[in-house]
Amino acid sequence: MSFDFATQFACKVFDDAVMRERLPKNTYKSLRHSIDENVHLEPDVADVVASVMKDWAVEQGATHFTHWFQPMTNITAGKHDSFISPQKDGRVILEFSGKELIQGEPDASSFPNGGLRNTFEARGYTAWDCTSPAFIREGTLYIPTAFCSYTGEALDTKTPLLRSMQVISTQAMRILRLFGNRTSKRVLATVGAEQEYFLVDREKYEKRLDLKICGRTLFGAMPPKGQEMDDHYCGRIRLRVAEYMRQLDNELWELGVTSKTKHNEVAPAQHELAPVFCSANIACDHNQLTMEIMRIVAKKNGLACLLHEKPFAGVNGSGKHNNWSLSTDDGLNLLDPGKTPYENVQFLIFLCAVISAVDDYADLLRMTAAVAGNDHRLGANEAPPAIISIFLGEELTSVLENIAKGNSNHQNSSGILETGVETLPTLPKDDSDRNRTSPFAFTGNKFEFRMVGSSQSIAQSNYVLNTIVADSLQGFADRLEQASNFDDEIKRIITETMEQHGRIIFNGNNYTEDWVKEAARRGLPNLPTTVDAAGALTNPKNIAVFDRHHVLTPVECHSRYEIMLENYAKTINIEANTMLEMVNKQILPALIGFAGDTAASYNELMCAGVSNATSLRLAQTLSEAIDRISAETKALTELLDEVHQNHDGALAAASGYRDQILPQMAKLRHAVDKAEGITASEAWPMPSYTDLLHRV
C-alpha cells in the first residue's frame, strides 16, 4: 500500500484548502482575517464555520468533537462530546454551534495549576485557536484550544505560546520596517522539532514495572554490548521497525504532519523523526500529535515507544532538537545570512538580538528543558551540558568580532557597514563544522536548541525564545528609530552585543571539564538539576520580561514554578515507590529462591560426595547481595518517610528528593544490578537490558 499524497495527505485536516472550498466566500474571508491578523471572529461567522466543520467531520465518520488542550503535564487532554441533539419526536439531529466551537468549559480542578485557582473556581475555559487547524482522529473532531482559568490565567502551554507569537511578530516587524521592508505583514517564529524515541518489544515491556510506570528502567545490569561500536546511528532499519515507521508516517501525513526524515539514532533501539518546519504554534501541536501517535502505532505493532529522556542507563538518552528561526509571511528567513550586504546587516541585527537574549536569559532558557527525566541526560557526555552557550561557527564569530573591533580589513569588506553600500562577506549558508556538542547552535539559517527533553512539550522553549528575542529586538528598534545616524547606531549595537554578551559564544567542545570551568569564569549559569533550574521562574528579571510582553503574569510565573517542582518531587516519589515494589515483590523473592536453589544443589552435590566450592561461594555471595539489597531498601523506605514529613513547601520537598532520595535510589540500584550479574537468566524476574535493547 503506497501513500497517495494527492488524496491522502492532510485528508483528516480542516485546513485552508477545505475551508476555501466549503465555506461561503465571506465567511472564509472573515476567518482568514481572524487567523492572519489575530482578531476575534464574529459570533454569526463562527456559527457558519462550526456548521460547515461539523458537516465535513460527519462525512468523515466523526460523531464527537473535543476541545483539545495542553495542560502543564507535557501531554494533551480533552473531553469528547457527541454532536447529537435530541428532538421532540425522540430522534436526534447533529448540531455544532459557533459557541461550542469557540469556547468550552472543562472542569479544571484535576489539572496542575500551581495554586492558581481555588477549588470553588474549578471551572476552566478552553478557547478555540484558529491558527492551528482542526482535525479528525478516531471519530472525533479535534479543535485545538488554549486553556485558561475562570479568572483568565493560563493553565496551559499554548496560551503563552500564542501570546509570544504576537510579540515576536510586532518587534521583528519594527526592525524590518527600519530596513525598508514594506511588503511583509507579519513575522512568524518557525520551528522544526526533531523527536528521538526508543522502541522495545511490547511483551518484554509489559514485564517491566519500571518501564510501564515510570517510562525508564530503574534497574538493569549493563549489557555486554551497548552503543560502543557506533553501529546503530543511521544504520539499516530492521524490518519490524521499518514497518512501524511506515505506519507512523502514514498516520501523521493524514493529519497534515510533515514527517520528513527517519533514521536510527546512536543507541541500540533508538530512532528519530524530523518534520519539515512550520509556525511554532502548529509545530508544537504537531509534536504533541507525533508523540501520541508514536505510542499508539507502537502498541498496534506489539512494540512500546519510550519517550522518556533516559530509559536506559549506560546508553544515550533522548532529546528533542528544537530548530527555531524567524520568517516573514512572504517567506523571508530572517536568520538566513543571505548574499547581499543589505540583508547581511539586517541579518546581523537579528543575530545580535538572539545573542543578547540568550545571554541575558540563559537561566530561563535552561529552565525550559528542566524535567526530572532530563536531569539524567544534560551534562552527561551525550547531550549538551546544563550550561547554555551559543555556537556560531568561526566565520560568523569573526565577522561580529571584526565589526566590534572596528576592523575594516575583513575579507571582501572595504570599510564596513555603510548599509546597503559596501560589502560584507557572503556568509556560508551551511557551516560545515557543525558543532554537535552545543546546546544552542547556529546551523546555517536557524538556531538548534538541543537541550529539550524527548518527553517535553516544546511550547515552553519556544515561548521563552520568542519573548526574550522580542525583548532584544524591542530595545534595538527603540534605539534605531531614534538614531540620528542609522549606520553608526547599528555598528554600536553590534559592538555592544559582542562586548556585553560575547561570553555566551563558545565554539569549542561543550562536553569537557575545561568548558565547565571556563563557563564559570565567564559567569555563565550552570544549573545542573531541575530544582536549580526552576528558580529562573522566580528571578525578578525573568518575571519582568514575561510581564513586559504580556506573555506570563507574575502570578502565572509563580504557579509554573510550583508546578515544576511538584512535578519533579512526584516523579521521583513514584520512581522510588516503584523500586520498592519491584524489590519487595519481584527481586528479593527471586534472589532468595535462586540462593536457596544454589544452596540446595551444593547440598545435593555434597551428599553425592562431590564437593563444589563454586556453588557454595555463589550461595554465599547471593546471600550477601540479598542482605545488601534489604539494607538499601530499608534505608530508602526510611528516607521516603522522612521526606514525606517535610512540609516546608515545594522547593524543600523537591530538594529532599534530589539530595536524599535520588542518591539512595542509586545505591539500591547498584546493589540490585550487581546481584543481577550473578543470577541465572531464568531466575531473574524481568527482561534484561540485552532483551530490551537488542531483541526488538
446 binds ligand ADP (CB under 6 A): yes
The β-bridge relationship of strands 270-275 and 84-86 is unpaired
Site map 118..137 versus Mg ion, x via CB under 5 A? --------------------
325 binds ligand ADP (CB under 6 A): yes
- Spatial neighbors of 284 by CB under 8 A, at least 6 apart, are 70, 157, 158, 161, 191, 193, 457, 458, 459, 462
Pick the closest to residue 319 from 207, 153, 196, 473 (CA basis). Answer: 196
Alpha carbon distance 458, 68 (integer Å): 17
Among Mg ion, ligand ADP, none, what binds residue 96 when CB lies within 5 to 8 Å by partner kind? none
**Closest approach of ligand ADP to the CB of residue 333, in Å:** 5
**Closest approach of ligand ADP to the CB of residue 197, in Å:** 14
Rank residues 28 and 324 by Cβ distance to ligand ADP and give the closer one. Answer: 324
Quote the distance between the C-alpha of residue 250 and its chain's center.
Answer: 23
433 binds ligand ADP (CB under 6 A): no
- Spatial neighbors of 441 by CB under 8 A, at least 6 apart, are 390, 391, 434, 435, 447, 448, 450
Q: Phi, psi at residue 558, to the nearest 5°?
A: -65, -40
Q: By CB under 5 A, what part of segment 498-557 binds Mg ion? A: none
**Closest approach of ligand ADP to the CB of residue 638, in Å:** 46
Residue 421 · residue 415 · CB < 8 Å? no
Among ligand ADP, Mg ion, none, what binds residue 275 when CB lies within 5 to 8 Å by partner kind? ligand ADP
277 binds ligand ADP (CB under 6 A): yes
Alpha carbon distance 509, 515 (integer Å): 7
Quote the distance between the C-alpha of residue 570 and its chain's center.
Answer: 19
Count the residues of the shown chain that bind ligand ADP, applying the rule CB under 6 A. Answer: 17
Residue 219 · residue 582 · CB < 8 Å? yes
Rank residues 288 and 679 by Cβ distance to ligand ADP and give the closer one. Answer: 288
321 binds Mg ion (CB under 5 A): yes
565 binds ligand ADP (CB under 6 A): no
Stretch that binds ligand ADP, among 139-147, 167-175, 269-277, 619-627 (CB under 6 A): 269-277
Stretch that binds ligand ADP, among 93-101, 272-280, 357-365, 373-381 (CB under 6 A): 272-280
Among Mg ion, ligand ADP, none, what binds residue 277 when CB lies within 5 to 8 Å by partner kind? ligand ADP
Stretch that binds ligand ADP, among 8-16, 270-278, 394-402, 495-503 (CB under 6 A): 270-278
CA distances from 128 to 289, 544, 611, 673 (A): 17, 28, 78, 50
174 binds Mg ion (CB under 5 A): no
**Closest approach of ligand ADP to the CB of residue 262, in Å:** 10
Among ligand ADP, Mg ion, none, what binds residue 412 when CB lies within 5 to 8 Å by partner kind? none
191 binds ligand ADP (CB under 6 A): yes
190 binds ligand ADP (CB under 6 A): yes
Pick the closest to residue 355 from 278, 441, 435, 436 (CA basis). Answer: 441
- Applying CB under 6 A, among 39, 92, 276, 606 the residue interacting with ligand ADP is 276
Stretch that binds ligand ADP, among 31-39, 293-301, 440-448, 655-663 (CB under 6 A): 440-448
Please identify the residue of the shown chain whose CB is closest to the bound ligand ADP. 192
Alpha carbon distance 510, 543 (integer Å): 29
Beta-bridge partners for 326:
189
Residue 370 · residue 564 · CB < 8 Å? yes
Burial of 199 (0-12, 13-18, 19+ CB in 10 A): buried
**Closest approach of Mg ion to the CB of residue 436, in Å:** 8
Stretch that binds ligand ADP, among 273-281, 409-417, 555-563, 683-691 (CB under 6 A): 273-281
Give the orientation angle of helix 554-582 with respect to helix 613-645, to 10 degrees. Answer: 150
Q: By CB under 6 A, what part of segment 293-322 binds ligand ADP? A: 321
Give the orientation angle of helix 588-607 with respect to helix 613-645, to 10 degrees. Answer: 160
The β-bridge relationship of strands 140-149 and 64-68 is parallel
Q: By CB under 6 A, what part of segment 224-263 binds ligand ADP? A: 261
Q: By CB under 6 A, what part of segment 332-361 binds ligand ADP? A: 333
- Applying CB under 6 A, among 169, 316, 323, 474 the residue interacting with ligand ADP is 323
**Closest approach of ligand ADP to the CB of residue 378, in Å:** 18
Amino acid identity of 392? L
Among Mg ion, ligand ADP, none, what binds residue 316 when CB lies within 5 to 8 Å by partner kind? none
Pick the closest to residue 419 from 321, 349, 520 (CA basis). Answer: 349
275 binds ligand ADP (CB under 6 A): yes
Beta-bridge partners for 149:
124
Residues that bind Mg ion (CB under 5 A): 194, 321
Binding site for ligand ADP (CB under 6 A): 190-192, 194, 261, 274-277, 321, 323-325, 333, 445-446, 448
